[in-house]
């Protein structure tokens, strides 16, 4: 889940969780304050009528008493007013009938003379009462008790309305604050993190990615940006060093391959030269004995020229192979040309090692490549095949080079197969790793196959071991031009 989505979700959950407590607190507070206000108003009205009510009760003025009770009953929020005499008999009643006051002797004692008191009971709820007395020569004489019931239904509705309004205002304020905070976080946290995510996904040794350093960012983000840019520079510098070392390893591998075929190359060059020398000597003798034997001279001369051309071809192949071709431009090259020139370099080595080198070409075509690098890959594979079979006891030793089309005909497949029984699984899993070798110390660097894999992948192809073949077979897969 994205950080922005999580913030929005958490904010919505927060608003839902606080809405009920806020509503309850607002409702309770509003109802409490309005109830106190109403009770205070009724208490003041009752207090103002006490002296008048006292005189009316003392004089037995029922009409006036009824008028006072009616007036008190018309006060907003009063549901009923009941006047009792000193024997708790109902004298006057206003509005709806009221239940008899459940007074006990102890409750009488709690009432102070002419003081208004609020009483709460389980049966009747909350109401106001006042003990009406008159001072006489014999002391305080109880004249009666007045009870006023107050209803709160309208106050409850009003409290709900005010609570909803307050909740809406608070939620609006919360949403506004959160929106402002969200915009701030998006600008100074979410956006920089998104830039980091994009930069990291695009980062490689070739990309020059540098994030903009904004002094307005929070300290942690600004520091992270500086660290990331520094890491990118270090990565780029390290990539340059690694590239240089890789070029050195390629040259080491190349020189190793040249060393392995040195003896074969010596024979390759020596034999044509000896042939050339021999034919030239025969020409000398032919001319000395019979100057008129022109046809024989021409034949021997042609053979001598072919020998020298073969020497030139071998030397050209060596020079092409030995040079650093990593910076050469990619060019369209015939597959057959690369294979034939590479085989020229190692043909004599296979011949003197008594290993049959077979070539099968079922297709031909061009590939876009650096010719010297693909030649290096083929030579590494052929040298490995030679080393693998040279110590085998069998007399029928062979290495096959086959060229075929892929199933979709978009790639050219070059198979290098030797007569070996295959590579064990534990070795096959590591055979393409750098510095892994099964050769004796001093005979192999363990770099040939790993470098070859890198070269082939750079050309958009694949180099892999065919695990399904009965013999040891490597497959070089290159896209057609």
Span 340-379, pLDDT tens digits: 888 887 887 888 888 999 888 768 889 999 888 898 889 8
pLDDT tops 80 at residue 457: yes
User: Given a cut of 90, is residue 475 above it in pLDDT?
Assistant: yes
pLDDT of residue 399: 93
The beta strand positions in 70-227, using DSSP E, are 78-85, 90-95, 116-121, 125-136, 139-150
> Does 92 score more than 60 pLDDT?
yes
d(CA 277, CA 471): 43
> Which pLDDT score is estimated for 397?
92
pLDDT (0 to 100) of residue 392: 84
pLDDT for the residue 416: 93
241 vs 391 pLDDT, higher one: 391
Domains in the chain, please, with CATH?
Answer: 3-157 (3.30.450), 204-249 (no CATH), 261-322 (1.10.287), 328-481 (3.30.565.10)
Question: What percentage of the chain carries pLDDT values higher than 90?
Answer: 8
Interacting residues of 208 by C-beta distance below 8 A, sequence separation 6+: 232, 236
* pLDDT (tens digit per residue) in 42-69: 888 888 888 888 888 888 888 888 888 8
- Averaged pLDDT score across all residues of the chain: 76
Contacts of 135-144 with C-beta under 8 Å, sequence gap 24+, read 140/113, 141/86, 142/86, 143/54, 143/57, 143/58, 143/85, 143/86, 144/57, 144/83, 144/84, 144/85, 144/86, 144/91
How much is the pLDDT for 218?
A: 60
Where is pLDDT greater, at 136 or 16? 16
CB atoms within 10 A of CB 253: 22
pLDDT of residue 461: 93
Mean pLDDT of the region 249-255: 59
Tell me the HSE value of 138 on the side-chain side, using a 13 A CA sphere: 3
| Collapsed DSSP state (helix, strand, coil) of residue 83 | strand
Q: How many CB atoms lie within 10 A of CB 302?
A: 11
Q: What number of H helices and E strands is found in the chain?
A: 12, 12
Task: Give per-residue pLDDT as tens, 179-232.
Answer: 887 787 777 777 777 776 677 766 664 556 666 666 666 666 677 777 777 777
Mean pLDDT of 384-399: 86
How far lies 453's CA from each of 120, 177, 464, in Å? 94, 58, 8
Q: Stretch 429-449: mean pLDDT, rounded?
A: 65
Question: Which one is predicted more confidently, 457 or 305?
Answer: 457
Q: What is the pLDDT of residue 425?
A: 82
What band does 463 get if pLDDT is binned at 50, 70 and 90? very high
| DSSP SS3 for 357 | strand
| Placement of tokens 């030793």 in the chain | 397
Contact residues for 364 (Cβ-Cβ < 8 A; gap 6+): 334, 335, 336, 403
Sign of CA dihedral 292, 295, 300, 302: positive
Give me the residue label for tokens 């005499």. Answer: 85
- Give me the phi and psi of 451, to 5 degrees please: -65, -40
Does position 473 have pLDDT exceeding 90, yes or no?
Answer: yes
Kindly indicate the confidence band of residue 95, based on its pLDDT and cuts at 50, 70 and 90.
low
Secondary structure class of 415 (helix, strand, coil): strand
Strand ranges for 24-155 from DSSP E: 78-85, 90-95, 116-121, 125-136, 139-150
Question: What confidence category does residue 434 fall into, taking pLDDT thresholds of 50, 70 and 90?
Answer: low
Give the pLDDT score at 319.
57
96 pLDDT above the threshold of 80? no
pTM score: 0.42
The confidence score (pLDDT) of residue 371 equals 87
pLDDT at 415: 94
């Amino acid at each position: 889940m994205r950080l922005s989505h999580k913030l929005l979700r958490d904010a919505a959950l927060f608003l839902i969780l606080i809405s009920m407590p806020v509503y309850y607190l607002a409702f309770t507070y509003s109802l409490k304050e309005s109830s106190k206000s109403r009770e205070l108003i009724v208490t003041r009205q009752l207090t103002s009528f006490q002296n008048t009510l006292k005189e009316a009760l003392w004089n037995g003025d029922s009409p006036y008493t009824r008028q006072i009770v009616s007036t008190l009953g018309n006060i907003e929020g009063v549901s009923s007013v009941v006047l009792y005499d000193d024997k708790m008999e109902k004298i006057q009643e206003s509005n709806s009938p009221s239940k008899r006051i459940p007074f006990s002797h102890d409750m009488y004692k709690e009432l102070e003379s002419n003081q208004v008191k609020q009483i709460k009971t389980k049966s009747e709820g909350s109401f106001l009462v006042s003990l009406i007395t008159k001072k006489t020569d014999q002391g305080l004489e109880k004249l009666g008790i007045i009870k006023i019931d107050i209803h709160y239904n309208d106050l409850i509705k009003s409290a709900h309305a005010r609570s909803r309004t307050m909740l809406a205002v608070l939620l609006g304020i919360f949403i506004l604050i959160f929106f402002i905070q969200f915009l701030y976080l998006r600008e100074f946290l979410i956006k920089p993190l998104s830039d980091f995510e994009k930069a990291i996904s695009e980062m490689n040794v070739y990309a020059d990615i540098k994030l903009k350093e904004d002094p307005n960012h929070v300290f942690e983000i600004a520091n992270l940006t500086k660290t990331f840019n520094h890491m990118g520079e270090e990565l780029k510098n390290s990539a340059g060093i690694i590239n240089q070392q890789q070029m050195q390893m390629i040259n080491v591998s190349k020189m190793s391959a040249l060393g392995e075929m040195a003896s074969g190359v010596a024979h390759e060059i020596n034999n044509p030269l000896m042939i050339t020398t021999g034919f030239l000597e025969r020409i000398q003798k032919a001319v000395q004995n019979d100057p008129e034997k022109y046809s024989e001279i021409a034949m021997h001369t042609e053979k001598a020229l072919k020998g020298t051309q073969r020497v030139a071809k071998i030397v050209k192949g060596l020079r092409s192979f030995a040079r650093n071709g990593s910076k050469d431009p990619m060019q369209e090259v015939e597959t057959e040309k690369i294979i034939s020139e590479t085989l020229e370099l190692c043909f004599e080595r296979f011949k003197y090692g008594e290993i049959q080198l077979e070539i099968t070409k079922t297709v031909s075509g061009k590939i876009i490549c650096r010719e010297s690098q693909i030649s290096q890959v083929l030579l590494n594979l052929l040298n490995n095949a030679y080393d693998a079979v040279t110590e085998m006891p069998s007399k029928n030793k062979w290495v096959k080079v086959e060229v075929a089309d892929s199933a979709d005909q978009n790639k050219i497949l070059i198979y290098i197969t030797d007569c070996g029984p295959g590579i064990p699984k534990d070795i096959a899993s590591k055979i393409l790793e750098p510095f892994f070798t099964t050769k004796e110390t001093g005979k192999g660097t363990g770099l040939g196959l790993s470098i070859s894999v890198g070269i082939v992948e750079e050309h958009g192809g694949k180099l892999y071991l065919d695990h399904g073949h009965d013999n040891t077979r490597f497959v070089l897969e290159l896209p057609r031009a």
